[in-house]
Each structure stands twice: as C-alpha cells, then as structure tokens.
C-alpha cells in the first residue's frame, strides 16, 4: 500500500492534478448548484457513531457477504462508472480485473463502456459481475445483452439504471451547448410494464432497479419485478436539491423489509470512508457502491492503483467495525453503531 496516500481523498487530489480540466470536471461536477452532490458527502458527518471501549480485534470474524448465492469478500461494490477508458488505457478491463482479484462485485455499464463487453468479460473471468442496462437503450438492445450474457457464470444479476442524469452547468460552459446524452436519457421512456418484461427476460437471475430515492418508488419496483433496489441520486447529477442518498436510506429500507425481507439494498452517493460504509449497513444497506473513486484509483496506477485504494477503504471498514464492537458484518445494526443524528432544519 502506498504510504503517501492515507485516504480516498488523496487519490482524488492526485487525479485532479493528472487529468485534464475538462475530464476532471465531467467526472466530478454535479447538477445545478451541486447542493445534492455536496450533501451526499456532508450528511455522513451528521450521523454520530457509538464507540465501544472494550472491543478486541482478535475476535474479528470478517466482512464477507453473499448475493444470489455468490459469496464475495466485502460489501463494497464497484458501481457503474461510464467510460472508464478516460482514466487509464485498460479502463473497464483493469477495473473488472481489480474487482476479481479483490473478490468484490464489479458493475459493468452496458450502455457506456470504453471497451468491448466481450473483451471485458473474457479478461476478467471468475469475477462476480452485475450488468447495468439503460432506458436509453432500445428494448431490443437490452434483450440482446441479456440473452448473450445471462448464462455466463460470472453474471450474478442484471440492473436497470433509472437514475437519469441532467444537464450540468459546467458542460454548457465547456461546450456551449446542451449535453445530448443527458437529453437522450431524460427523454427515454421506461414504464412499469417494461420493468415486468425485463424481469421475464432475465429469468432466474436477480433484477436490480437503480435510481430509487423514496419509499413509493421502492415499493413500485419490488411489486413489478425488482429483486433488489439500488438507492442513488446519480452522485448529485440528477435533480438538484433532492436529498442525499444516506438520508433516505433508513426510511426506504424499513419500508422494503416490511414488504419483502428478501429484497437486498444497494446504495451509492458520496462514500469516501470505511466508517460511512458501516453507517449505511447499520441503516439497512446490504452493499455500498463506489462511483467517482473508481476513476481516482485507475488514474493512480490502473488496476493496481484501484486495488490499493479499495484495500485502504476496506481496512478503514474493519477498524471502524472493531471500534464499534461489530466483529462480523452481520452484527452491524443501528443500535450497535449509531449514537445520534443531527438533522437539518
């Protein structure tokens, strides 16, 4: 592990100094006044943790999780960061290989990938993968991808990304025109009937619905075919001034578990510390997904840089668990972890 880097923010600062201004802004910027993007990170500070003084590392059992009968080494997931070739030559291949070697889940963006999907799958055989589909794709294109990969042993689920990105001010300033990809997504039609059809297409594999930010949509998703939900506000790139992801997690998880205890919950949105992963799990999440940090790790040293960064985050997670006296990932709950909340007025 590189001793110069003590946190994910060190990797971010490195990436900022290496990437061109345009690429860095396209990665980092949120929508509008970036209120939601900021609150994604700031709201973690409002959740205070409970230190337990008599914890002992020798009793630590581990952080392994399971999804669709597939055991993975950690609740940390590589989310669907588009066009990873912007950050290192091997792009998605490097990231998928890093995830495989770490034993964690990798999410392949099947709408916006820099490398050929076949090549990514071939060069990371053995790693657990979620394939992310988009409403911006035609129904025929989504079906083709499902039929091609649903028997692949590495594919543990398909997901549909309903978190629509909006126009960012910085894109308009850089290019003097609207972001056509954002417009294309915003005009894409995807109905509950499409969701039901998608579930039929994926067959026995789990279907994850990404972009859930309220109880109503969570219930609609699981009532119409979703086996898991993914809480996300697209990293603050969608509707600005909507809540942070962590602030809606508890209410959504309670509603979902009451309706169907088997539904698993993924979440992304501003996760930069191992303690933040613990907070999310204590409030009902099963898996915590990274977005922008994937780019930071890739910029540093490709596959090895990304592995190193996630290993650092994992050590923070383990230390935080010990200090809250949670000796296995399954022991984490709100009563064990949360001391208090400081709500916004």
Task: Give per-residue pLDDT as tens, 220-230.
Answer: 999 999 999 99
Task: Give per-residue pLDDT as tens, 233-252.
Answer: 999 998 999 999 999 999 99
Tell me, yes or no, whether 277 lies in a domain.
Answer: yes
Residues tagged in the binding site annotation for glyoxylate? 237
- What CATH number should be reported for the domain holding residue 261? 3.20.20.70
Residue 8 has pLDDT above 60, yes or no: yes
The stretch 324-345 carries a mean pLDDT of 87
Nearest by Cα to 228 from 293, 156, 331? 156
pLDDT at 69: 87
Tell me, yes or no, whether 336 lies in a domain.
Answer: no
pLDDT at 342: 79
Question: Rounded to an integer, what distance in angstroms lies between the CA atom of residue 278 and that of residue 288?
Answer: 9
Q: Sign (positive/negative) of CA torsion 92, 95, 99, 100?
A: positive
For 285, counting Cβ atoms within 10 Å of its Cβ (0-12 exposed, 13-18 middle, 19+ buried), the class is buried
Strands 70-72 and 65-67: antiparallel
Tell me, yes or no, whether 338 lies in a domain.
Answer: no
Residue 167 has pLDDT above 90, yes or no: no
Residue 345 has pLDDT above 50, yes or no: no
Residue 186 has pLDDT above 60, yes or no: no
Neighbour-count burial for 3-41, b at 16+ CB within 10 Å, e otherwise: eebeebebbbebbeeebeeebbbbbbbbbbebbbbebbb
Task: Give per-residue pLDDT as tens, 86-103.
Answer: 999 999 999 999 999 999
Residues tagged in the binding site annotation for FMN? 210, 232, 268-272, 291-292
Question: Rounded to an integer, what distance in angstroms lies between the CA atom of residue 270 and that of residue 245?
Answer: 8
* Residue 232 exposure: Cα atoms within 13 Å on the Cβ side: 29
In percent, the amount of the chain with pLDDT more than 90 equals 84
Residues tagged in the binding site annotation? 210, 232, 237, 268-272, 291-292
Tell me, yes or no, whether 328 lies in a domain.
Answer: no
pLDDT at 85: 97
More confident site: 278 or 55: 278
Question: Quick one: DSSP state of residue 214?
Answer: S
Average pLDDT, the chain: 92
Tell me, yes or no, whether 331 lies in a domain.
Answer: no
List the domain range (segments joined by +) for residue 271: 8-38+69-318
Query: What's the number of domains the chain is made of?
Result: 1
Tell me, yes or no, whether 256 lies in a domain.
Answer: yes
CA distances from 24 to 17, 170, 171 (A): 9, 11, 12
Tell me, yes or no, whether 332 lies in a domain.
Answer: no
- 3-state class of 340 per DSSP? strand
Tell me, yes or no, whether 50 lies in a domain.
Answer: no
């Amino acid at each position: 592990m590189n001793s110069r880097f003590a946190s994910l923010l060190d990797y971010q600062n490195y990436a900022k100094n290496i990437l061109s201004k345009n690429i860095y802004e396209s990665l980092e910027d949120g929508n509008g006044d970036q209120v939601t993007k900021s609150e994604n990170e700031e709201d973690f500070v409002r959740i205070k943790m409970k230190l337990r003084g008599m914890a002992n590392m020798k009793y630590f059992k581990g952080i392994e999780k399971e999804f669709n009968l597939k055991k993975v080494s950690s609740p940390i997931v590589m989310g669907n960061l588009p066009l990873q070739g912007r950050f290192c030559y091997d792009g998605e291949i490097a990231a998928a290989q890093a995830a495989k070697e770490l034993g964690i889940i990798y999410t392949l963006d099947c709408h916006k990938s820099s490398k050929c999907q076949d090549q990514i799958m071939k060069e990371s055989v053995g790693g657990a993968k979620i394939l992310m589909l988009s409403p911006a794709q035609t129904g025929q294109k989504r079906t083709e991808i499902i039929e091609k990969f649903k028997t692949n042993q590495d594919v543990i689920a398909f997901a549909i990304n309903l978190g629509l990105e909006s126009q960012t001010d910085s894109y308009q300033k850089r290019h003097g025109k609207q972001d056509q990809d954002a417009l294309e997504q915003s005009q894409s039609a995807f109905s509950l009937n499409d969701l039901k059809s998608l579930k039929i297409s994926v067959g026995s594999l789990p279907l994850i619905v990404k972009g859930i930010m309220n109880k109503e949509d969570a219930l609609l998703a699981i009532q119409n075919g979703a086996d898991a939900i993914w809480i996300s506000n697209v990293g603050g790139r969608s509707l600005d001034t909507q809540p942070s992801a962590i602030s809606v997690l508890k209410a959504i998880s309670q509603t979902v578990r009451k309706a169907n205890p088997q539904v698993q919950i993924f979440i992304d949105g501003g996760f930069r510390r191992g303690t933040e992963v613990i907070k999310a799990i204590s409030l009902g999440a099963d898996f915590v997904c990274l977005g922008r940090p994937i780019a930071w790790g890739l910029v540093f040293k490709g596959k090895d840089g990304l592995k190193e960064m996630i290993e650092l985050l994992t050590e923070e997670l383990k230390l935080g668990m010990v200090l809250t006296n949670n000796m296995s990932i399954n022991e984490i709950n709100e009563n064990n972890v949360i001391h208090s909340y400081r709500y916004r007025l």
